[in-house]
A and B are shown apart, each in its own frame.
Chain A
Amino acid sequence: MRMDEGKIFALLSALVLVVVIILSLSYVPKARLVPLVVALPTLTLTIGQILKEFGVIGQKKKDSNDSKDVVEESETNLKGYWMILFWIVLLIAMLFLIGFFPTIVLFMFFYLKLQGRESWLVSFLMPGATLIIVYLAFVFGLNIDFYGGLLFELF
């Protein structure tokens, strides 16, 4: 089974726009004028797009993008999606829990070794080099105080 991102995006857009319209109605006229002027026609167009995506109206467009769609079929397989989503969630979770510097080293190392199947040398060297560059440029040079991570700040 394959996700249809077009349908998901159109449905989510419509949902967001409905929420915006409902919330706007509770604001004073000046605060709701522009949101309503923009959201109502956008919602109309989005509903039209949803109907098109579900094949209710018109023919789902098969044009020059057809060849791209073939590539998309193969590249947007569920396994790939979940894998990249896993890496992104892992990155954010690590950043929040252990902070920037340990995350830079650990995330890059694991990604290079497990996902990229790079050699041990590259998997060690690249995170190390990145850490040194980031430290020199941002901490030493630009004096930025990076987030230390929830775990380290608690203890």
Chain B
Amino acid sequence: MAKSKFRYVFGSPNFLNSAKVVPLTNVMSLSASYIHPYGKRLNGKVIFMLEAIIQGFASVLSISVLPLMLLGVILGLIIGAIPGLGGAFALAVLIPFVYDMEPAQAFAFLLGAHAVIYTGGSITAILLNTPGSGPNAATLFDGFPMAQQGQAGRALGNALAASAVGGVFGAIALALLIPVIRPVVLAFGPPEFFMMAILGISFIALMGEGSLTKGLIAGGLGIIISLVGYDPMTGIVRYNFNSLYLYDGIKLVPLTLGLFAVAEMIHLALKGGTIAQGSIKSSTSGVLEGIKDVFRHWWLVIRCGSLGTIIGAIPGLGGDVACFLAYGHARQTSRHPEKFGKGYPEGVIAPESANNAKEGGGLLPTLGFGIPGSSSMAILLGAFLIIGVKPGPEMLSTNLDLVFTMVATLVFANIIGAVIGLLFAGTLARITNVRSSLLVPAVLVLTCIGAFAVECSMGDVAATFVLGIVGYIMKIKHYPRAVLLIGFVLGKIAELNLHLSMQIFGPTFFLRPIALILLITIIITLFSNQIAAFIRARREVRL
């Protein structure tokens, strides 16, 4: 049954029959033309798809839906910009408002908010070294140094334009891939997840700020921190020292807020002055330059957008992995890898295009099979049921117009979110020129609120400040905090999937085709410098 539903796009003989169940509006008057006397079904299918596309886009632009999407976008930008809160929080908070809405209205509202969460989060990441949520963490590495160099406007231009383009890319990918995503998703299992996590961790070797030893120590500590708490494979609680708080392990939000936001505020309080060390480059021209950068690096945006879409589509990996892999990929393929981490636009463009593209990818398994790709998508799945829409293969035949409403929402929300952000980017960039005596107490209070609000836990607040002190020492002694964060995010994923792979496939799990390709990529990544040196030496010998 499910198979036949998936086939309709490619030419199920019952295509026209199945199409009849789709409610068509007057906008779809085109439909009359496709039932040709000779029954040219290929044209029919194309027109059927076109109908659904037009219906989806028209529905989003209708007067009853557009204002709700705009409201969702504004709320999403605000929630995204608040440190610690993320997409799952936004959806959880907004779901009660959709009970009485029509499906198109509800999804425009919810997806509008969710699509721009990371767009909002990039603003605080760049200006205050405080990521809105986990997937914005990789934006810190180059975004904040740019702000310190007085290029906050350019960094915001980079982030917002890359978010918009990445988001639109993800939406287009959703539209194109939804009928064919099943084999791709099913091709990924624990061995591939493990290899992807190890690939991310292997970027640690490339990311040391000068000292590889310090980078490896930080990465190792990050992995160890991620292993604190309950181990689902064995049922053992590790390294919790009988603390109830540590039973669940250390969470990403306190770790990120502590390592970056609190550490930065301690540094600023001790140093005095402002975040921007020197004059701020004209904000408007900086923003425009940032937008131009994105189009100048269009190939990087497409590559990282694809990476984000694929990772988003694979249930269990999550957006944090997408942004770190995109960052590592950008650094590895850049002509100037040495500039990464010091305020380089490519380091902002790559993670931002990946984390917004991941939204389209995340919707693929959610809509296609009813399997949520992330915690946010699980909440969205709840919204589907509240509204009375059943996700899964049949959605592609019975609610195709709704699928394209979601695609259209992602397209418009990303563009509108970026435009709103860009309108205020020049003004926002001036935050980096606010004196520390005003900024420090405000950010510390905001950090407390962000740390508490996610799980209403005072333990998270305390952990944030303890980790903040650790982060400050790491900062001044040049231990790369980014590497610790990568180790933390990927350590647990790697361990869990290693055990699952060993259990399911045995010790030769890495010989599965995709796992093997990833293993080769890991080896190339680890030895990229040596390989490059070898190739250079060979060339010189020939000359």
Contacts and interface: CB of A to CB of B under 8 A. Distances in A.
Interface of A: 5-6, 8-9, 13, 16-17, 19-20, 23-24, 27-28, 30-31, 34-35, 38-39, 41-42, 45-46, 48-49, 61, 63-65, 71-72, 75-76, 80-81, 84-85, 87-88, 91-92, 95-96, 100, 103-104, 107-108, 111-112, 115-118, 122, 126, 130, 134, 137-138, 142-147
Contact of A38 (B223, B444, B499): B223
Contacts of A38: 220, 223-224, 227, 491
Nearest to A38: B223
B107 interface: no
Interface stretch (B265-273, B507-515, B526-534): B265-273
Contacts of A41: 216, 220
Contacts of B267: 75
B269 A84 contact: yes
Nearest to B503: A30
A112 B439 CA distance: 10
B462 A92 contact: yes
Interface string B198-213: 0000000000001101
Given A75-B271, A130-B445, A13 B210 contact: no
A72 B474 CA distance: 13
A27 B465 contact: no
Nearest to A65: B478
Nearest to B272: A75
Query: Which 8 residue pairs of A and B lie closest in terms of their CB atoms, listed nearest first?
Result: A116-B437, A42-B220, A111-B441, A34-B495, A31-B234, A6-B477, A5-B473, A108-B441
Contact of A80 (B262, B270, B438, B479): B270
A120 to B, nearest CB: 14
B494 A34 contact: yes
Interface stretch (B109-117, B370-378, B449-457): B449-457
A49 B266 CA distance: 25
B535 to A, nearest CB: 28
7 contacts: A20-B224, A34-B227, A38-B220, A112-B438, A112-B441, A116-B438, A137-B78
The dominant DSSP class at the B interface is: helix
Give the interface size bracket for B toward A.
35 or more
B96 to A, nearest CB: 9
A53 to B, nearest CB: 9
A77 to B, nearest CB: 8
A90 B469 CA distance: 15
B437 A9 contact: no
A13 B217 contact: yes
Nearest to A99: B458
Contacts of A49: 213-214, 217
Contacts of B269: 80, 84, 87, 115
B58 to A, nearest CB: 31
The dominant DSSP class at the A interface is: helix
B231 interface: yes
A99 B527 CA distance: 52
Given A100-B449, A108-B442, A30 B233 contact: yes
A84, A122, A130, A147 — most chain B CB neighbours (10 Å): A84
A9 B477 contact: yes
B186 interface: no
A117 B436 CA distance: 11
Interface string B478-498: 110000000000010011001
Interface in B228-283: 231, 233-234, 236, 238-239, 262, 266-267, 269-271
B214, B441, B449 — most chain A CB neighbours (10 Å): B441
B438 A5 contact: no
Nearest to B470: A9
Contacts of A20: 224, 239
B221 interface: yes
Given A31-B231, A45-B220, A118-B438, A72 B476 contact: yes
B93 interface: yes
Contacts of A104: 445
B461 interface: yes
